[in-house]
Amino acid sequence: MVVRVMNPIVAKALEEGRYKLLEHESFELLRQYNIPVPDFALVQDVNEALKVVKDIGYPVVLKVVSPDIIHKSDVGGVILNINNDDELRNACDRIKNNIKEKAPYARISGFLIQRMVPEGLETIIGATKDPIFGHVIAFGLGGIMVEVLQDVSFRIVPITEEDARAMVREIKGYRLFNGYRNMPARDEEAIIYVITKFSELLSDNPNIVEADLNPVIVLERGKGAYAADARFIIRSV
């Protein structure tokens, strides 16, 4: 019989009575499974942000960190393409004002500052936990492709490399991975790797009941794929 030890990040969140991982915790969990994420840091205020950005380097993204907010963009909690110190100061003020106006109930634990991922093919990897089958992973292209066209493939965890390859190749938008018009070919092997590592993460963590890596940016062939945002919903089992 295999006895799993709960991941300390998940255990800490449950001990604190939380149902979701905070933004920096989600990235740290992905790092533990070697899923590529951009350089990031949790900061408490603009002064700390101005210090850590010297190591991370511009351009960066600034996100609110709150145990009470699930969809940060809906409340103005995310600002992209920050290119200098003045824009970073303004971004901190704008996010605080947005949260005060649109989510006044929310506690703010700080800000996540992260390096911008270069432009690439946006994909989404999601998961839910079915009471009978366990974790089910969904893969598709981001934006309207997943919301309108429902161009998504599914597999039950655990997922092998061949399973992940089939998931990628069976969506209608797969031809974009081989290049289309002036778009370059994308790093298919990198996204296959991310899907298999995400499957491993879910297998090891039964307390995760819902998760999204959205977007996962797939760069040109040979340059990798990065999870630019992540959300994990948890509960005691």
Strand, helix or coil for residue 228: coil
Name the phi and psi angles at 121, rounded to 5.
-80, 120
Are residues 214 and 147 both part of a single domain?
A: yes
Are residues 214 and 130 both part of a single domain?
A: yes
Residues in the chain: 237
pLDDT at 146: 65
pLDDT at 158: 97
End-to-end CA gap in the chain:
18
> Tens of pLDDT along the chain (237 residues)?
555 788 999 999 999 999 999 999 999 999 999 999 999 999 999 999 999 999 999 999 999 999 999 889 899 999 999 999 999 999 999 999 999 999 999 999 999 999 999 999 999 999 999 999 999 999 999 865 666 678 899 999 999 999 999 999 999 999 999 988 888 999 999 999 999 999 999 999 999 999 999 999 999 999 999 999 999 999 987
State pLDDT tens for residues 60-74. Answer: 999 999 999 988 989
Are residues 16 and 124 both part of a single domain?
A: yes
Helix axes 188-204, 23-32, angle to 10 degrees: 100
Name the phi and psi angles at 128, rounded to 5.
-130, 160
Domain edge (last residue) among 83, 100, 115: 115
Would 29 be classed as within a structural domain? no
Distance CA 117, CA 114 (A): 9
Would 2 be classed as within a structural domain? no
Would 150 be classed as within a structural domain? yes
Q: What is the CATH number of the domain that holds 78?
A: 3.30.1490.20
For residue 21, which of 86, 69, 89, 63 has the smallest C-alpha distance?
69
DSSP letter for 187, please: -
Are residues 128 and 229 both part of a single domain?
A: yes
State pLDDT tens for residues 85-110. Answer: 999 999 999 999 999 999 999 999 99
Give residue 101's domain range.
Answer: 39-115
